[in-house]
Amino acid sequence: MKQIIIIGGGPAGIAAAQNLSKGLSDEEVTITLIEKRTFFFHALGSLRAMVDASFIPKILIPYDNIFQGLTNVHLKFATVNSISYDTQTVNFTAQEFERSMSYDYLILATGSSYPAPIKPADTVNNTLTDVENALKQTNQDIESAERILIIGGGAVGIEMAGEIKSFYPNKKVMLLDSHDELLSNNNVPKLRGPVKKALTKMGVELLLGQRLKMDGERLTGHEFETKTFETEKGMTIESDARIICAGMKPNTDLMDDPECLVNKTNGTFIKVTETMEVAKYKNVFVLGDASDHPTPKLAYWALMQGAHLAKGIIANIRKGTPFVPYSPPSAEALFLPLGPKGGKSQLPMGSGIIVGNFLTKKFKSKDLITGMFWKMLNVKMP
């Protein structure tokens, strides 16, 4: 019997676990999903939850029925301390006891970190109540601020600006980025103009090609107090809040082999082959944000990667079939809600097709795909 360990209960890890369990029998495999939190944090909805308190319960999904009816997969709440890739052993702490498990296949789906509460603070004792309280406090802080500076002109910053302007149309919202164009790290040249036009129409002030002049270290967390800053080009900015929507950090701490890491402009990633396998270690795979695979770092593609890898492992166990490369889309799919009623998006067809409010709302804006994830985890949304 083969032992498969998956570390990380986000979209990629869940998709891999569920597809593996459905495709293999109890006699063929035992699958263990290790997750440090006792709840699924639906990060796609966190920006709305930061401005709309009624949305908070919708992004905190219980794991209670995640593997309902699947007998060969088990969820273990634990913190992984280290991995010995040579001996194929995972060392973890569960209920204050240190333990270890061996694996035949290992999947790292550890995701990434972001300034809380866009994603929960990365602490061992960060409970559901802690996360709820952090979101509620941010709600109050945003409501109290009249002039809000959003730092980061990528997808997160754009969506944050859209959410705030939708719920508080009279607030002054400024979006600052050091690049001259929005979405500079995304391969969506045709989308940039329509997004810029839509934000301007909403009343968002775009401060592109600007960087704050900092006397000390750069801002790494949100601030909610009135301050005046100057940019390196001499512009003065007064704001009551700074919301950091940049600085995604891939979670790569469980890979301590420097040969398997690669530094890029947007972080340090684990190096993988086209099949999402770590070249140096057989049957060790990395999915989603922590991987340097060229697939866009989005939840939808993480789900697709998980399903693809599961299919490959099933074939490898049963027939010894070599793993098949996972090909990223020819055009990047990017859905950018600007509040609940719509936004701008690029569909991954040809060189990319740009669509507006109707399809953006249909595919994402209305509920930020919360309903799909509650269904995926086999629980009823409140």
Kindly list the domain boundaries of the chain, sorted by start residue.
2-36+78-114+248-319, 128-247+331-376
Question: Which residues, 6 or more positions from 18, have their beta carbon under 8 angstroms from its beta carbon?
Answer: 66, 67, 70, 73, 310, 376
Own/partner pairs, 375-380, CB within 8 angstroms, 24+ separation: 376/14, 376/18, 377/14, 377/40, 377/61, 377/62, 377/63, 377/65, 377/66, 378/65, 378/66, 378/68, 379/61, 379/62, 379/64, 379/65
Nearest to 175, CA basis, from 163, 188, 185: 163
* pLDDT at residue 265, as a whole number: 78
- In single-letter form, the type of residue at position 354 comes to I
* pLDDT at residue 217, as a whole number: 64
* pLDDT at residue 95, as a whole number: 87
* pLDDT at residue 351, as a whole number: 84
- CATH fold of 2-36+78-114+248-319 reads FAD/NAD(P)-binding domain (3.50.50)
Q: For residues 9 and 303, what is the distance between their CA atoms, to the nearest angstrom?
A: 12
- The per-residue b/e assignment along 277-308, b for 16 or more CB within 10 angstroms, e otherwise, is bbeebebbbbbbbbbbbebbbbbbbbbbbbbb
- CATH fold of 128-247+331-376 reads FAD/NAD(P)-binding domain (3.50.50)
Q: Calculate the CA 379 to chain-centre distance.
A: 21
* pLDDT at residue 215, as a whole number: 72
Q: For residues 348 and 44, what is the distance between their CA atoms, to the nearest angstrom?
A: 19
* pLDDT at residue 123, as a whole number: 66
Question: Which residues, 6 or more positions from 282, have their beta carbon under 8 angstroms from its beta carbon?
Answer: none
Omega before 117 within 30 of 0, i.e. cis: yes
* pLDDT at residue 15, as a whole number: 98
Where the chain has pLDDT below 70, the residues are 123-125, 216-217
Q: Are 237 and 174 in contact (CB under 8 A)?
A: yes
Q: Are 61 and 373 in contact (CB under 8 A)?
A: yes
Nearest to 145, CA basis, from 172, 118, 166, 115: 172
- Per residue in 297-311, pLDDT (tens digit) is 989 999 999 999 999
Q: Are 7 and 34 in contact (CB under 8 A)?
A: yes
Identical fold, 2-36+78-114+248-319 and 128-247+331-376? yes
